A and B are shown apart, each in its own frame.
Chain A
Amino acid sequence: MKKILAIICARLLRFIGKLFKRGSSLPGKYALKIDPDILSELTLPSYVIAVTGSNGKTSTVEMIYQVLTAGGKKVIYNKEGSNQIEGVTTLLLSNCDIKGHVKCDVVLLESDERYARHTFKHFQPTHYVITNLYRDQMTRNGHPEWMYDIINESIYDKSLLILNSDDPLVSLFGHQHPNSLYFGINPQAMADDENISVYNDGVYCPNCKAKMVYDKHYFNHIGHFRCSNCNHQSKERLHEISSIDLKKGEMIIDGEYAIKLALKSLYNAYNILAAYTIACLLDVDKKVSINTLNNYILKNGRVVSFLLGDKEGTLLTSKHENSISYDQSLRVIANEDRDVTVLIIVDAISRKYFTSETSWLWDIDFDLLNKNNVKKIYLVGAYAADLAERFRFTAVDQKKIFIERDIEKSLETLKTDTIGNLYAVTCFSDQHKLLDRVVIR
């Protein structure tokens, strides 16, 4: 009886919520109050896919949704980004009948890495993708090893883990959970790269803390690695990127499938590979997957073209408190051959909570902007001075740097003073302060 009441309540609240364009957590929250075990009582389809990790969850889930749908499967997923237990409950109860049968072929969940352990107490994914573990939002997450232990609590033997073989911390889950397979980059796939990040979390083995040896370093601790002491090393890949050219925006998967990258970044390539791996595991025709992923432009607003006056601009949404996200955006700019002006906005560090913590700026490799074609760099927002002080410790010519606390004023200036294409780098918490004042193309 409690189950039926919870389902009715959730669906009613969902209906009302949609009318008022309200968030999707509330119906689940109340349903869980009525029946705290509701999630255990549902009948789920054969496939429940969860995606977690520091970066790329939303993008990966979006691409998995597209390939599985193209493959003829009925998929439901938490597209509104409500990735904690309440949001997941809303999703499932909105898509089940009164007896609790969830009506789809695949449930696809973006799972918050801190809260997955609460959700998966009640049911477990059949396929559990872990993309990466980076220094991310450490004001809340502590640090990657702390998050490793928390995610580990969400893993059960019945789930098949799909792990990034090139992330030493992520692939370590496979040591404790043999029901794992891996995706990654073939070490021959790209020309020699070196770890040019400001810091390196791959110096010591996350398993035994002996020194690690890298045959290839893609970025930060991501690469082809082996421990000098224990048996922890890059694992054999079920699916792989066989070659990749970021400058041209092309990669080959499994030696034969060419993909054009709409966003020329390595971690976009990893996300595509993760989606492809899931599609293969669920028997989607490979050509259908490749066609869907080819030139796939993410619809989650991470890359936005705009006009500021008559100046063309591109917003590369990056996550504050996540240096690797910033580094990836800066690499996209560094790969540009045209003249560019760069606008970096740090105004509110988070949209969800307050903090004034700016240590993460010191983990970003701003020296990537030390290029002749980067003509001007505007440091803008309440934390413009923090950015300015950080830039004093780069090799970037200080004459190229302009400081402005007021976002609106900086945009007025940029209407006339932008040289070349304008690249804006900022976070979801600040991007509307730009996008509200430009013409989105």
Chain B
Amino acid sequence: MIRILHLYNDLMNLYGEYGNVAVLADRLKDLGIEVETVKKSLGDDICFSDYDFIYCGCGTEKNLRLALSDLKKRKSEFDEAVKKGSIILFTGNAMSLLGKKLDDEDALNYGSFSSLTSDKRYTGDVVVKNDIFGEVVGFINKCILIEGSKEESLFDYLYKANDEDAHVEDNEFEGFHQNNIYASFIIGPLLVKNPVVLRHFVSLLSNIKDFEYNYPYAEESYQVTLKALKERM
């Protein structure tokens, strides 16, 4: 059985991020694997090591602070899960929880990058790329700039919308990857929108490399967006 933890489900679920957990569980079940999804939030007892996959999505800036404050109190248990090999995926501004600092506050310190909050917001469609996933589409909606070494960044940007409403020039640091920890500032159900990324996590969790993977609507959704964004490159 695969156990999935949707962490801070009622606090960090600003852009439909619960879809990431739902689609992952769905695909694993389609492979005949039993899946249990558990939601935990502030004040709950959480034994992180009980879970094979720990997901946290995006929240408001205030909610991110609450999540950080709560998670720091549980750092040793969280460390244990990381060491044990639980797969971690944090998306949207939850990525900032994994870095060294969020403004003046210490974060969980898995990455050496720091997050700086701005009073302006960067919003825009993006296409990013790396060797693991290929081209990934999504949307960034943040008021945080990342300071860190580009080597730690998970993705390279291929396209960033920069219209009049993208008030803040974003920097080039997008996403974070270290062993079994993954993060991206892309908001929303990015696993739904990017079948290759989803397949990667399905494969990691199921320990199956080759399996039939046929979800035409998800694939079409990805292709429609990729085409629309590439036309703007």
Contact = CB atoms under 8 A, between A and B. Distances in A.
Nearest to A363: B16
Contacts of A203: 10-11
A204 interface: yes
Nearest to A323: B16
Given A204-B11, A385-B221, A389-B192, A138 B141 contact: yes
Contacts of A359: 15-17, 19, 139, 187-189
B153 interface: no
- Which residue, A204, A359, A361, has most C-beta atoms of chain B within 10 A? A359
A209 B66 contact: yes
Nearest to B16: A362
Interface string B164-192: 01000000000000000000000111001
B207 to A, nearest CB: 25
Interface stretch (A33-41, A141-149, A253-261): A141-149
B225 interface: yes
A385 B217 contact: yes
- Which residue, B143, B216, B221, B228, has most C-beta atoms of chain A within 10 A? B221
Given A353-B163, A356-B225, A385-B220, A362 B188 contact: yes
Nearest to A135: B14
B48 to A, nearest CB: 22
B152 interface: no
Contacts of B192: 362, 389
B28 to A, nearest CB: 14
A385 B123 contact: no
B221 A358 contact: yes
A285 B122 CA distance: 48
Interface in B19-75: 19, 22-23, 26, 60-63, 66
A142 to B, nearest CB: 5
A360 B143 contact: no
B224 interface: yes
Given A204-B11, A357-B125, A140 B165 contact: yes
Contacts of A353: 163, 165
- Which residue, A144, A357, A386, has most C-beta atoms of chain B within 10 A? A357
What are the nearest 7 A-B pairs in CB distance?
Answer: A359-B188, A362-B16, A385-B220, A357-B139, A388-B217, A356-B225, A389-B217
Interface of B: 10-11, 13-19, 22-23, 26, 60-63, 66, 121, 123, 125, 137, 139, 141, 143, 161, 163, 165, 187-189, 192-193, 215-218, 220-221, 224-225, 228-229, 232
24 contacts: A138-B15, A142-B143, A143-B141, A144-B60, A198-B16, A199-B13, A209-B63, A353-B165, A354-B161, A355-B125, A356-B137, A357-B125, A358-B188, A358-B221, A359-B187, A360-B15, A362-B18, A383-B221, A385-B217, A385-B220, A386-B224, A389-B218, A393-B19, A393-B22
